[in-house]
Structure 1
Amino acid sequence: MGGETHEPLVGLIRVGRKADMDGARIAALVLAAGWLTGCGLWDARGQMQMMGQACTISGTVVADDAVPGPYVVAVFRAPMEEGAVPEPVDHVVSAGGGEWFFGLAPGRYQVLAFADPERDGQHEAGAPVYLANQGGMLDCPAGTRLGNMEIQIEGEGVAGHAIALPVMRGAGPDGSPISVGGVTAFGEVTTLDDPRFDDDVARGSQWRPVDFMLAGYAGIYFLEPYDPDRIPVLFVHGMNGSPRGFAELIDQLDRERYQPWLYYYPSGLPLQSIAAHLAQTLEEIELRYEVESLPVVAHSMGGLVAKGFLHERARRASPAHIPRMIALSTPWHGHAAAQSGVDRSPVVIPVWRDMVPGSEYQRRLFESELLEETELHLLFSFRRPESGARAGTDGVLTLATMLYPPIQAMASSVYGVDTTHAGILTHPMALERVQMLLESGS
């Protein structure tokens, strides 16, 4: 299983710094060339330049049955003074080996792994460690992509100093070099009224995704502390949406049985990077709490993210069972307006390329089936001609993209609701259908 070189999640160029509306916003891509002028154009261009300055290090952990996991892959910044202890910058937790990546500020780094059966992020001096690049420092200047770093869980390396990594991580910088993990929420408890979920923040994430990441908004949020007696349900919003768009779906959950987990991400980034970020973030949380089962509910572009996330999990050997994925009004074959944005805009936001019908990202989603353990259930929205909507659409997406034949072939069920693209998140028939699907296998 070879490592994959990921596109940067965020342009990390500074050291030590600190409702769903996606239907209309997808359609608005066609106006991108006209909108991206003045300050908007300057902001978008600056964000793309910052993304290009990221240092990315990625690779694979090759597990050994003789050394039980889980494993921690940690990246350390080269010490400024000779003899000083290297500073841990970020880490990834892996259940049984698989892919990992770090998005970092430019610099010199060392990457190593160790077994962490106690799941406490602690490792004593003299204990075994397993090295990337034979333990040598990695020079990672601005714009560098260091991929295919293989770490074999074997050998005779030992830790020259004790390692203490934070078990509970949350959003926000801590004075260390900026890294993706350092500005990601790992199960932070909040409410749907959190200002981070406001519409203007969500809308801005398409044009200013780097600012969104550096502000510490991205990650997985809880609405209450974890309860081992209830099943988590992961919600993934669409383009320029936020967890707040799922308010009515969350309200109708049986909270004696389920607990909502909310993934929040900047809409402007490449979908592959978002899917990898979700997979890596969730794996650490599910290992922390020993989660066994986790259904997924996604809306619109969130369905594309969620399916890519399932593929990422397969490459990482993530442990939790994903019994079903419920996708509501997803543009499985993209949106024609995205092509207009790519063709006409002087600055192209990366996600637009992924939303072009038949894009490379979409093609990869259909190269392999879903995991055998995961049922896929499709809900789609449509408007009758008398509603005034364009024929064959829900007012935003065409039926052709929501009912793209290859995804229908993978689906266990397909269900239509006479409502708008955003209305499917609040329509009683859709709410009842989602609840029924969740209950059907729990």
Structure 2
Amino acid sequence: MFGMGVLRVCAVLVVVMGLVGCSLLDAREQLARMGGACVISGTVGSNKGADGSERTGPYVVAVFREPVAGAVVSEPADHVVSARGGSWFFALEPGRYSVLAFLDEDGDRTHPAGAPVQHVAGGDSLDCGPGGRLTGIDIRVNGNDRLAHAIRLPDTRGPGAGAAPLSLGRVTAYGEIAHLEDPRFANEVARGSQWRPLDFVLAGYAGVYFLEPYDPARTPVLFVHGMNGSPRDFAGLLEGLDRERYQPWFYYYASGLPLQSAAAHLAQVVEELEVRHGVESLPVVAHSMGGLIARGFLNERARREAAATVPAMITLSTPWAGHERAQQGVDRSPVVIPVWRDMAPGSDYLEGLFADANTEVTELHLLFGYQRGEGGARATADGVVTLASMLHPPAQREAASVFGVATTHAGILSHPLVLERVDGLLSGVQGD
């Protein structure tokens, strides 16, 4: 019997190690392909007029692929909507592109021929080859240039992986309506996104989802899940959310991506949704690693001069000081997933989260669990994260409140005291 038991254990280990090996091979190939993307980024704004006035947006920054096969007009590849100016970026397949910006006062993403625009590089094409990084492009929309051909950019945004040229915006969900049981939110899809982040993005899964059409009479609340999570993780919290007053939005992202990439992507998507719907207030609720992305999102918003305020950010069991398992992965794995570097204690990303003062009028509320549960790691407080990481001093110093509950890392998402606390905090920032 002992011999058969050992054989069974060995068989299981062989299968597990084989799966891990396959995952690492997948990850290596995915990371290589991601590194071959073209990235064009910069800032947009306007110069003051002769009377000292300044046009403050909204702006549209658009990127066009160089005409091919005898075409006269360049093909739009992607665009960014900026409420008041600030940072923007495009992630594209390699190629030759032109970039321009215009003031979109009507908010319809159209611009007639002869209308004022600002071309980058005088309208010449930019060569962005595999792995190209064209950064630091500052566009001042002065109206010095005129548009040769009318522009009409898509009224709505959404996944379109089959479209060419391929760009991040074309495969991103911008307020797409879905339900929590949508197959895209399945556990196997969410877990696989750590090892195959590019497949996740190209499948059109990443972005911000709504459960119903936008309702201007209700305040949107942005939910950000943790590592290997999905919008489904918040099903318990939704039971305590007053749906007559609040409308949930969910950010869904690939867990293997660098946290700064996720934060910048979230900021760019949300800013367009805010402009489209005239959003004025957007509280945020984030679980675990999602809190790290949400904090980076706030920092990004400061660089983008976003229109809406984020009156409160409520984080649940967030590892502000990182996780030792991430450092072990960095030290020992032959293939290092980018998120592991960011989650490692002392990483540049973690050190930068509180380096600058919170420039938004945002209350930070820390909720944490202190019950390991069955099978939880001994050194942790909630079975996953240590108390020292959840109560990292820089986070505590900025926090308006700290609230602990006897529950596990996953249990905090549905604990009655947490549901009551979140509801109370949301009501507080809404002036009740």
Per the TM superposition, whether the score is higher than 0.5 is yes
User: Deviations 1:255-314 (Å, cap 9, x if unpaired)?
Assistant: 110000000000000000000000000000000000000100000000000000000000
Partner of 2:340: 352
Give the residue type in structure 2 aligned to 1:305: I
Gaps of 5+ in 2: 1-15, 48-52
SS of equivalent to 2:418: helix
Task: Give percent identity, aligned residues only.
Answer: 64
Partner of 1:270: 258
SS of equivalent to 2:136: strand
User: Deviations 1:120-153 (Å, cap 9, x if unpaired)?
Assistant: 1111000001122232210000011110011111
Partner of 2:12: none
Give the residue type in structure 1 aligned to 2:91: G
Structure 2 CA distance for aligned equivalents of residues 109 and 386 of structure 1: 55
Q: 1:188 to 1:388 in 2, by over 3 A?
A: closer
Q: Give 2:221's match in structure 1, choosing from 195, 211, 233.
A: 233
Partner of 2:44: 61
Gaps of 5+ in 1: 1-32
Partner of 1:6: none
Where do residues 30-429 of structure 1 align in structure 2 (5 Å cutoff)? Answer: 37-64=20-47, 65-82=53-70, 84-173=72-161, 175-383=163-371, 390=378, 393-429=381-417
Q: 1:139 to 1:372 in 2, by over 3 A?
A: closer
Give the residue type in structure 2 aligned to 1:149: I
CA contact (8 A) 1:77 1:107 kept: yes
User: Deviations 1:187-231 (Å, cap 9, x if unpaired)?
Assistant: 001100100000000000000000000000000000000000000
Structure 1 CA distance for aligned equivalents of residues 294 and 369 of structure 2: 19
Structure 2 CA distance for aligned equivalents of residues 385 and 225 of structure 1: 39
Partner of 1:27: none
Between the two proteins, the alignment pairs up a number of residues equal to 410
SS of equivalent to 2:146: coil
Q: 1:406 to 1:128 in 2, by over 3 A?
A: same
Q: 1:277 to 1:389 in 2, by over 3 A?
A: closer
SS of equivalent to 2:193: helix
CA contact (8 A) 1:68 1:117 kept: no
Structure 1 CA distance for aligned equivalents of residues 329 and 312 of structure 2: 34
- More RCO (CA 8 Å, sep 6+): 1
Deviation at 1:393, TM superposition (A): 1.3
Give the residue type in structure 1 aligned to 2:319: P
SS of equivalent to 1:211: helix
Give the residue type in structure 2 aligned to 1:62: G
Deviation at 1:399, TM superposition (A): 0.1
Q: Which has the larger radius of gyration?
A: 2
SS of equivalent to 2:116: coil
TM-score normalised by length of structure 2: 0.92
CA contact (8 A) 1:392 1:398 kept: yes
SS of equivalent to 1:240: coil
CA contact (8 A) 1:133 1:149 kept: no
Structure 2 CA distance for aligned equivalents of residues 372 and 135 of structure 1: 36
What RMSD, in angstroms, separates the aligned Cα atoms of the two structures? 1.7
Partner of 2:9: none
